[in-house]
Amino acid sequence: MIINHPILGPRDSQEFVYLGAAEMMNRPDGMSAGIEEFHEWLYHRDNPAGEHRELWYHEQGDRSWLVVTRNTLTHEISRVELARDVAKAMGRSK
Amino acid sequence: MADTLHALTALGQAAPQTRVIGPYRIEERFDVALASVASRRGREAEVASAAAAAGIPLPGPARFTAGPLYAGFWVAPEMWFVEAPFASHEDIVAVVKPIFGEAASITEQTDAWVRFDVLGTNLAALVEKLCNVDFARAADGYATRTVIEHMGCYLIRHTSGALTIYGGRSSAQSLLHALEVTAASLL
Amino acid sequence: MSQSNRISGGQIDRSKTLSFRFDGKSYQGHAGDTLASALLANGVRLMGRSFKYHRPRGPLSAGSEEPNALVHLRSGARQEPNTRATVAELFDGLEARSQNAWPSLKFDALAINDRLNTFLTAGFYYKTFMWPAAFWEKLYEPIIRKAAGLGALTRQEDPDSYDKGFLHCDLLIIGAGPAGLSAALTAGRAGAQVILADEDFRMGGRLKAETLEVGGQAGADWAAAQVLELAAMPNVRLMPRTTIIGAFDHGIYGAVERVSDHLAVPMKGKVRQTLWRIYSRRAVLAGGATERPIAFENNDRPGVMLAGALRAYANRWGVAVGRKVAVFTNNDDGLRTASDLRAKGLEVRVIDARKGEEVIDTSGRLGLKSVTIRSNGKVETIACDALGVSGGWNPNVNITSHHRSRPVWEEAIAAFVPGEDGPVGLTAAGAAAGALSTHGALATGQAQAIAALADLGIAAKADALPQAEDAPVAISPKWYVAGGKGRAWIDQQNDVTLKDVKLAQQENFTSVEHLKRYTTLGMATDQGKTGNVLGLAVMAGLTGKTIPETGTTIYRPPYTPVAMGTLAGRSRGKEFKPFRLTPSHKWAEEQGAVFVEVGMWLRSQWLPKAGETHWRESVDREVLATRKSVGICDVTTLGKIDIQGTDAAAFLDKVYANNFASLAVGKCRYGLMLREDGMVYDDGTTARLGENEYVMTTTTANAVLVFRNLEYARQVLWPDMDVQLISTTEAWAQFSVAGPNARKLLEKVVDQDISDAAFPYMGAGAITVGGIRGRLFRISFSGELAYEIAVPTRYGDALVRKLMEAGREFDAIVYGTEALGVMRVEKGHVAGNELNGQSSALNMGLGKMVSKKKDSIGMVLSQREALLDPNGYRLVGVKPVHKDGKLTAGSHFLAIGAAPVIENDGGWLTSKVYSPHLGCDIALGYLKAGDQKIGTQMRAVNLLAKPVQETLVEIVSPHFFDPEGERLRG
């Protein structure tokens, strides 16, 4: 597959490491959330046949974590964003 | 004080090695000091102006730029590798850190890498057997991370006849072997 | 009988005569021949025996679709099985042998299978060899495998080398027939970066095999002229002898280039084949079409061939397969074979199915002698030595199916054409798209190139096309001749007959996917290129459905078989992976060190001294010498990560389970890293070198993973943290110096004061060694007074020599990873075997390290009820009760008297070493409620040993050695 890196342009997916669903970015705060909330976050995720937002790491590249929107049926990649930008837009900070 | 220590190159020799294989010349470089320069959060503008004042090029993504003393290439968002002559910059961090002060994180990288300069006509034929870089269509000054025989490397195109590869120092011999075998297969 | 069947014409170089051998007999051919064309020129039609029935077979085709003419090519270690004689390029000295025949091709003992055909129908394995079950593996399968099959492996190492490469283009054109050439000229003239790949050694596709004219020239000459024009374009890369084997995602194609297969031996330094990964922005499939046979009784005899192949041998190679020829066709293209062969002076009888004529049988055991024809009720037998059969042409849709697109039935040409939902960016042109005339190929090739480039914003011109034939496809489908005994072959490679398809239908295996698995239709090396459509058309007929209703199986990569060596490339043997060498490697080599592979690293495992004959002697000595005086170990392989930034301290508090914010400048601390599920995954020490500057160490194995996770934490979880990361693993050569005399040794080497007061336990800071910048950390893995000293890597070799020289008066030694392991087990430190991904800090006896006063990765879920079970696993030490008792890692704990069943399992031994200090085996282990069982006795049982190993053991603290840590603070 080819991932259109927001900074570097098209790069072979062989340069990347796959992590999983981008929902994982929504990590609860350990000082306020309890075990149930963490459990739900860590273990319960959708497995869609179709569009899926997922985390890829450009390990053999610029080390950016990316959020890639990929159709799991066709492998069509419709959107690629820097995970940091997405995280900040979600309200994550320090 | 005890006696001083004597250095070995990444290939384990007292002096850098050169290999000539047909039209290709592979030179181990031992005379370049290297440091990473990473901008601290929110201080990107300070870093850019300090670099400009000191003549340290910090080019945009996938680019290499050489200046009179320093050269630099982009490695990651807000991070560059800066090259300088080893003779004058053996302790490159001590030289570069005052330029940026607390605006940037500076880390010595000189000995983390082996550097090979490869010279010759038709380097594109060599590169297409080594890694996934479209060398023929890349512009001069293109710099990218890539993989050669499982080894993560930086590849810089200076001209169609000159390139630099930085590879992990510990696998210097394996990297040279890959370059040699590939060059020999093209004769 | 030298080239008795060679006739005039053809694109062979008659001035170059090549000698070759087939089954031990010498023949001659010419440059430009394939092995098949050269054998046919010499009157050899019989080239192999069939898969199941051992029927005598000759080539069916003149191309890569060949099911029958598979040979062992070359000899010795270079022998390659299942090579298609129809595409093997002839070279001087070529040697080939037939396959699947014993004792000889002409008399094959297993041809008895052919007489037993009644029993050997589809599904016979499943029905016959069902009982008893154990017989399948031990008796039936080996016999069947020996009897049925293809070529044999040499079991010798392949002497050739292979490599890989990466190519990039705007437009990849697959196939260099009229459509591909037309597309390439269009795109090349427009300035696009073009790759034109063709599996043949000469470009031109079908034009090489035809007498058709293009632009007033012979087709083959026109093709050669276009290839010359393309070769002169710097933006066009011509890749003959290159098969596109598969379409992968987003315009990536796999290609195999046969660099040296046309030579007896590759030239020095050259590879045999190259596996290319082609990155295309657009691609045009111009792969042509494959003719299909018609099934009739005994249609598999040597000499029975596809009509187009018969004509190809005559036109391209100047070979008359037979002098008296019959052509059985259901379409006009078959008539073209007849007229071409007549023009060559051969006698041809046409049997046109559209006129009610059909071939009902053939004769000739080792080669065709006659055919029996039924013509409107009249039966006659005519003598002939070649029969061309044409059932129509199937577009080569294979690659369009690689992403699961299903081909669609096109009634006008009675064939499947590419479906709409093929690989993105790939379009088909020419015969592959169902445009079966030469004009159609030229026109669609040009049109698809223009369309593809328009997508890329490259304007291409539609130059006037040369004049070429544009005959309509005149076909009246006929799939099989009814009324025979059913010994009519559909898939010749797998010996699938009409009868087998009927049987599948009777037994209700009517879906195409079931038909394939039940009969093996379309399997093996040719993947049904000639038989598939015929088979499913027969099934459609038997079930009374249309072909579109019956459907078709689809194709997977590779398009044609690929040698394993090509896929491996250079990654084999010693070059399977690169090596990483430590800074002391050269010195260690001089000492005769034994190296161990740790990931890609080569580390000293132990360093034998003269007279030591067993590894344990060396390891015991290294341990004892270290504990007695001082030992040195290269620990450069541990991951080192430079962490800087104003939030670096807060960042470390997030990624480590224990507290780091309180770490003072100039000190280091042991840290524990958890996964979010609460399990420990890595550990190491981190030193604070400045207010905003740290250096973290990781285990050797997890250096890359930890770095990745740190990047994740700083980019994704806490994106506003001011933290910068860079690996410095290779920038510093780092040595552990451990033992009671460690400080005394280092005092001789380090320029600064490193007394206990100046450099206390867990201190860290900058030093110099003979003026060279360095770092010193007072940390210990061995439990001894120990330091780690680092200098820039270029000085690592000099430093180990200097340390050894300075250590001479202390009898300093260098120890390897085995001694390191012994000392860490003696101290009860966890390592890889304990960091097994399913153990928490509490399991390791480190539960108190997990701070609940801050949010760190894994903290919350490490507090789950089950993980806090007071009777859960705890790390314990294990000693044999009797000093000579042997321990084995992996043994399980059982209470005394308990039966070895899972309910009684108490846990297991994780790491075992021989402790020279205690003079016995010792081990670490995870034991249920282990902390409550210290001082008790249990059994360590290894059920895998024969006989079962049982050792009475005492459960002890994991800190076997200096439990109070007095030595390391010394």
Given this model, what pLDDT does residue B2 score?
47
**Interface test with chain B among A3, A8, A60, A82, by most B beta carbons within 10 Å:** A60
Distance from CA of A59 to the nearest CA of B (A): 9
**Nearest CB to C855: which of A25, A29, A92?**
A29
Residue A30 touches chain C, beta carbons under 8 Å: yes
Distance from CA of C647 to the nearest CA of B (A): 10
Residue B165 covered by a domain: yes
> Where does a domain end: B109, B137, B152?
B109
**pLDDT exceeds 90 at position C25:** yes
pLDDT band at C121 (very low <50, low <70, confident <90, very high): confident
Distance from CA of B76 to the nearest CA of A (A): 4
* Cβ pair A64:B146 closer than 8 A: no
Which residues of chain A are under the pLDDT cut of 50?
none
Distance from CA of B40 to the nearest CA of C (A): 6
Interface of C with A in 856-885 (CB under 8 A): 856, 859-861, 863-864
pLDDT band at C129 (very low <50, low <70, confident <90, very high): low
- Tell me, which fold does domain C577-635+730-829 have in CATH? Gyrase A; domain 2 (3.30.1360)
* Cβ pair C749:B170 closer than 8 A: no
* Cβ pair B132:C793 closer than 8 A: no
**Nearest CB to C861: which of A13, A35, A83?**
A35
**pLDDT exceeds 70 at position C147:** no
Of C740, C734, C747, C729, nearest to C786 (Cα)? C740
Whether B138 contacts B42, CB under 8 Å: no
* Cβ pair B152:A63 closer than 8 A: no
Backbone dihedral angles phi then psi of residue C365, each to the nearest 5 degrees: -65, -50
Overall average pLDDT of the C515-520 stretch: 92
- Output the DSSP codes for chain B: -PPPP----TTSSSS--EEEETTEEEEEE-SEEEEEEEEPTT-HHHHHHHHHHHT-----TTBEEE-SS-EEEEEETTEEEEEEEHHHHTTHHHHHHHHHGGGEEEEE-GGGEEEEEEE-TTHHHHHHHHSS--TTTSPTTEEEEEEETTEEEEEEEEETTEEEEEEEGGGHHHHHHHHHHHHHHT-
State which amino acid sits at residue C565.
Answer: G
Location of structure tokens 């037993």:
C116
For residue C353, what is the DSSP state?
A: G
pLDDT in tens, B73-104: 999 999 999 999 999 999 999 999 999 999 99
3-state secondary structure of A70: strand
* Cβ pair B3:C770 closer than 8 A: yes
What is this model's ipTM?
A: 0.99
Whether C825 contacts C819, CB under 8 Å: no
Provide the angle, in degrees to the nearest 10, between the axes of the packed helices C438-455 and C178-189: 40
A59 contact residues in B (CB cutoff 8 A): 152
Distance from CA of B88 to the nearest CA of C (A): 15
* Cβ pair C570:B1 closer than 8 A: no
Sort residue C584 into left (φ over 0), alpha (ψ -120 to 50) or beta. Answer: alpha
pLDDT in tens, B4-48: 899 999 999 999 999 999 999 999 999 999 999 999 999 999 999
Distance from CA of B15 to the nearest CA of C (A): 11
> Where does a domain end: B88, B109, B130?
B109
* Cβ pair C770:B107 closer than 8 A: no
**Interface test with chain A among B128, B130, B145, by most A beta carbons within 10 Å:** B145
Location of structure tokens 């846990």:
C907
pLDDT in tens, B121-161: 999 999 999 999 999 999 999 999 999 999 999 999 999 99
- Tell me, which fold does domain C13-113 have in CATH? Ubiquitin-like (UB roll) (3.10.20)
Distance from CA of C853 to the nearest CA of A (A): 8
Overall average pLDDT of the C540-550 stretch: 93
3-state secondary structure of C26: strand
Overall average pLDDT of the C153-158 stretch: 91
Q: What is the mean pLDDT of chain C?
A: 95
Whether C521 contacts C496, CB under 8 Å: yes
Provide the angle, in degrees to the nearest 10, between the axes of the packed helices C532-543 and C512-519: 120
Given this model, what pLDDT does residue C131 score?
61
Distance from CA of A49 to the nearest CA of C (A): 16
Of C735, C911, C743, nearest to C815 (Cα)? C735
**pLDDT exceeds 70 at position C144:** no
Of residues C112 and C561, more confidence is placed in C561
CATH number of the domain encompassing residue B158: 3.30.1360.120
| Domain shared by B117 and B143, yes or no | yes
Overall average pLDDT of the C837-864 stretch: 97
Interface of B with A in 63-82 (CB under 8 A): 74-77
Measured CA distances, C462 to B80, C183, C466 (Å): 48, 10, 12
Overall average pLDDT of the C770-797 stretch: 95
In C555-679, beta strands by DSSP E = 580-581, 594-598, 601-606, 631-634, 639-644, 668-674
Say how far apart CA C329 and CA C388 lie, in whole Å: 8
Residue B6 covered by a domain: no
User: What architecture does CATH give domain C293-391?
Assistant: 3-Layer(bba) Sandwich (3.50)
Given this model, what pLDDT does residue C152 score?
85
pLDDT band at C377 (very low <50, low <70, confident <90, very high): confident
Overall average pLDDT of the C252-275 stretch: 96
**Nearest CB to A65: which of C424, C711, C861?**
C711
A64 contact residues in B (CB cutoff 8 A): 76-77
Distance from CA of C485 to the nearest CA of B (A): 56
Say how far apart CA C896 and CA C909 lie, in whole Å: 16
C165 contact residues in A (CB cutoff 8 A): none
Whether C226 contacts C177, CB under 8 Å: no
**pLDDT exceeds 70 at position C125:** no
Exposure string for C9-44, b = 16+ CB within 10 A, e = fewer? ebbbeeeeebebebbeeebbbbbbbbbbbbbbbbbb
CATH topology agreement for domains C162-289+395-455 and C293-391: yes
Is omega for the bond preceding C947 within 30 degrees of 0, making it cis? Answer: yes
**Nearest CB to C718: which of A13, A34, A92?**
A92
Residue B7 covered by a domain: no
* Cβ pair B145:A60 closer than 8 A: yes
Given this model, what pLDDT does residue B170 score?
98
Which residues have C-beta within 8 Å of that of residue C674, sequence separation ≥ 6?
Answer: C657, C680, C681, C840, C841, C850, C856, C857, C858, C859, C862
Residue C721 touches chain A, beta carbons under 8 Å: yes
Cα nearest neighbour of B134 on chain C = C168
**Nearest CB to C798: which of B6, B9, B91?**
B6
For residue C554, what is the DSSP state?
A: -
Which residues have C-beta within 8 Å of that of residue C303, sequence separation ≥ 6?
Answer: C45, C58, C321, C322, C364, C367, C368, C385, C386, C387
pLDDT band at C574 (very low <50, low <70, confident <90, very high): confident
C719 contact residues in A (CB cutoff 8 A): 84, 87-88, 92-93
Given this model, what pLDDT does residue B1 score?
41
Cα nearest neighbour of A11 on chain B = B132
Which residues have C-beta within 8 Å of that of residue A39, sequence separation ≥ 6?
Answer: C861, C864
* Chain A, chain B: beta-carbon pairs less than 8 Å apart: 30
**Nearest CB to B147: which of A15, A82, A84?**
A15
Backbone dihedral angles phi then psi of residue B173, each to the nearest 5 degrees: -70, -40
Which structural domain, as residue segments, surrounds residue B123? 18-30+112-185
**Nearest CB to B41: which of C164, C269, C720?**
C720
Q: Domain spans of chain C?
A: 13-113, 162-289+395-455, 293-391, 478-572, 577-635+730-829, 637-729+833-862, 870-970
Distance from CA of B132 to the nearest CA of A (A): 8
**pLDDT exceeds 50 at position C422:** yes
Q: Domain spans of chain A?
A: 2-89
pLDDT in tens, C851-905: 999 999 999 999 999 999 999 999 999 999 999 999 999 999 999 999 999 999 9
Residue B64 covered by a domain: yes
- Tell me, which fold does domain C478-572 have in CATH? Arc Repressor Mutant, subunit A (1.10.10)
A59 contact residues in C (CB cutoff 8 A): 704, 708
Given this model, what pLDDT does residue C832 score?
92
Given this model, what pLDDT does residue C1 score?
47
**Nearest CB to B61: which of A7, A59, A84?**
A7
**Nearest CB to A7: which of B77, B146, B152?**
B77
| Domain shared by B36 and B92, yes or no | yes
* Cβ pair C861:A42 closer than 8 A: yes
**pLDDT exceeds 90 at position C104:** no
For residue C463, what is the DSSP state?
A: P
pLDDT in tens, C168-220: 999 999 999 999 999 999 999 999 999 999 999 999 999 999 999 999 999 99
Given this model, what pLDDT does residue C966 score?
83
Residue C480 tokens, joined: 């099989």
Helix (H) or strand (E) holding C937: strand C937-942
* Cβ pair B107:C771 closer than 8 A: no
Which percentage of chain C shows pLDDT scores above 70?
Answer: 97
Which residues have C-beta within 8 Å of that of residue C322, sequence separation ≥ 6?
Answer: C5, C303, C346, C368, C384, C385, C386
**Nearest CB to B111: which of C586, C794, C798?**
C794
**Interface test with chain A among C652, C716, C856, C857, by most A beta carbons within 10 Å:** C716
CATH of C637-729+833-862, one of 3.30.70.1400, 3.40.50.720, 3.30.1330.120, 3.90.79.10: 3.30.70.1400
Say how far apart CA C265 and CA C365 lie, in whole Å: 37
**pLDDT exceeds 70 at position C128:** no
Given this model, what pLDDT does residue C151 score?
85
Cα nearest neighbour of A86 on chain C = C716
* Cβ pair B5:C193 closer than 8 A: no
For residue C717, what is the DSSP state?
A: I
Distance from CA of A73 to the nearest CA of C (A): 10
Residue B1 covered by a domain: no
pLDDT in tens, C458-516: 999 999 999 999 999 999 999 999 988 879 999 999 999 999 999 999 999 999 999 99
* Cβ pair C802:B2 closer than 8 A: yes
- Output the DSSP codes for C468-523: B------B----B-TTS-S-BEEETTTTEEHHHHHHHHHTT--SHHHHHHHH-TT-
> Where does a domain end: B64, B88, B109?
B109
* Cβ pair B61:A60 closer than 8 A: no
State which amino acid sits at residue A9.
Answer: G
Class of domain A2-89: alpha beta
Residue C13 tokens, joined: 């170089």
Longest pairwise C-alpha distance within chain A: 41
CATH homologous superfamily of domain C870-970?
Answer: Aminomethyltransferase beta-barrel domains (2.40.30.110)
The count of structural domains within chain B is: 2
Say how far apart CA C26 and CA C93 lie, in whole Å: 9
Given this model, what pLDDT does residue C146 score?
65
- Tell me, which fold does domain C162-289+395-455 have in CATH? FAD/NAD(P)-binding domain (3.50.50)
Interface of A with B in 3-62 (CB under 8 A): 7-8, 12, 14-15, 59-62
Overall average pLDDT of the C558-585 stretch: 94
Residue B157 tokens, joined: 């195109």
Location of structure tokens 């297991």:
C908
Location of structure tokens 């690659």:
C399
Residue B124 covered by a domain: yes
Given this model, what pLDDT does residue C140 score?
67
Distance from CA of B25 to the nearest CA of A (A): 26
Residue B154 covered by a domain: yes
Given this model, what pLDDT does residue C634 score?
98
